[in-house]
Structure 1
């Protein structure tokens, strides 16, 4: 692949993850004034704006419900709903840098679940990455030395939910339409969050509507940009750009939210990012475009471009 299309793909990927970061910052600006269920639902509604740009010429809306494995389709739907709710919760209660650090455990979760459920043979390098990642989490959380919140638990579950989506894609993605897995993520989030938001529903203010629109529309834009990025550059090149979100998190934290990153947190973040990059480096990528389905829930982006089941 020539250098010019690859550079274009990388730049599109950086733009995509910048848009994802703006999306996360938008929901954080609501500061928990609305329930996580309501924010996730309304954000998903706004995110539907991007659907026409993600569908291929031969796709139909009914294809969102068609699948070769209904149990895995439903698992993907549930994982997307849980991932969206928990990521919103994480960004509400934690600094963006801390939330991203824990969500970035996703590659480690993928490795573990690939061994358990897909029977992959994983070598010493990827197991080392898993261990480094969990050491990084201990450094960030410092259990026993600081108070932990529901935000920390939510961030971990956001990463876990994203990993489930990736493993489902690996299991059936080669025979499933991209629009089907995308539909599972979107419809799962709309249905689950829509039902759960009803008891505590509160009509958003004008400013909150603006933030919710930013949350959904930036996520839709990011998904479209990432789809085009992987059409121009190899997935192995696109994947590591995910971690540029940490730079945006620190920038937003400093300029907008007044957050600080202390030395132990910085060390933990570096360990977790290093773990993820090591996992990405050891993946054998088949150089296929990243389907839009994989990124319809925010936590599932970190390893979405590395669809390989080979041991290293």
Structure 2
């Protein structure tokens, strides 16, 4: 792979995670005026626009529901739906930097679940990364010293849901089509979030429609950009670019939302990001596969990066 092609892939990746960050900022701008279920459902509805770009030669719409493992397809659907709700809740109630810091626990969750469910062998370095990540969380949260909210729970569950999606991919293997992975996520979010949204549904105002469109369409654009990124550059180079979202989070927090980051949070963020980078580095050495860059929700997509066969 040429240097120019690799650079193009990395730039696409940075653009993808910038789009994800703008998408998350759109959710935060709604300020909880709509329920997380409704925002997740409408965001997923706009996210359907990415479907033509996710489909490869020979794919059909029915491939969204075809799978080599039906139970794991449903697990991916549930994980995507609840992950989307959790991430919306996190960005509604927390500063963007704090939400991202907790969501970035995703690699640690993947390590733990890979040991428990896939019986992978994990060495001292990857376990050290897990410990570092959870120490970072304690520094960020400072339990007993500050009030915790539903947003903190949402951020942790968003990371956990994204990890489930990755472990599902590792379980089904590369024989599963990208369109099936995307279909599980988008259908799960539309059906489950739609049903949960019915009791408290309220028609969004025009400004809210614009923000919801930004949320869903930018997430769809980010998914497409991430697919282009992984077609040009190795996953080992694309994966770490997700942490550029923290820069956007700090910038948006300062300029738009009036957020401030204190020293303990900075230290915790550094520990969590360092944990994630160490995990990515070890998985690169071990050749552990990551799933294709398709996701119905932005935070699952943030770690779902890998080289894919253009014919898949």
Deviations 1:62-108 (A, max 9, x none): 00010111100000000000100000000000000000000000000
The aligned counterpart of 1:254 is 254
Deviations 1:256-280 (CA, angstroms, capped at 9, x unpaired): 0000000000100000000000000
**Mapped contact 1:83–1:298 kept (Cα < 8 A):** no
> Which residue in 2 is equivalent to 1:156?
156
1:1-312 aligned within 5 A: 1-284=1-284, 291-293=292-294, 295-305=295-305
Q: 1:35 to 1:143 in 2, by over 3 A?
A: same
Offset, 1:291: 2.2
Alpha carbons 2:253, 2:259 under 8 Å: kept: yes
Aligned pairs, how many?
A: 306
Could you list the runs of 4 or more consecutive aligned residues of structure 1 that deviate by over 4 angstroms after TM superposition?
285-290
Q: Unpaired runs of 5+ in structure 1?
A: 308-312
CA contact (8 A) 1:102 1:137 kept: yes
Q: Per the alignment, do residues 287 and 74 of structure 1 end up closer, same or farther by CA in structure 2, a change over 3 Å counting? A: closer
Residues 179 and 292 of structure 1 are in contact (CA less than 8 Å); yes or no, is this contact kept in structure 2?
no
Superimposed CA distance per residue, residues 16-42 of structure 1 (whole angstroms, 9 cap, x where no aligned partner): 000000000001000000000000000
CA 1:165–1:173: 2 relative to 1, 3 Å: same
Unaligned runs of 5+ in 2: 308-312
Q: Distance in 2 between matches of 1:277 and 1:302?
A: 13
Give the aligned partner of residue 310 of structure 1: none
Decide whether the 8 Å contact of 1:79 with 1:165 is kept in 2: yes
Judge conservation of contact 1:243–1:273 (CA < 8 Å) in 2: yes
Shift of 1:296: 2.3
Cα deviation digits, residues 110-167 of structure 1 (max 9, x gap): 0000000000000011000000000000000000000000000110000000000000
Corresponding residue for residue 310 of structure 2: none
Query: Using the alignment, how far apart are the partners of 2:236 and 2:292 within structure 1?
Result: 15
For the aligned residue pairs, the C-alpha RMSD in angstroms reads 1.4
- Provide TM-score, normalisation by structure 2: 0.96
- 8 Å CA contact 1:235–1:287 kept in 2: the answer is no
Q: 1:25 to 1:46 in 2, by over 3 A?
A: same
Superposed CA deviations along residues 228-261 of structure 1, whole A, max 9, x for unmatched, are: 0000000000000000000000000000000000
- TM-score normalised by structure 1 residue count: 0.96
After TM superposition, give the deviation of residue 302 of structure 1 in Å. Answer: 4.0
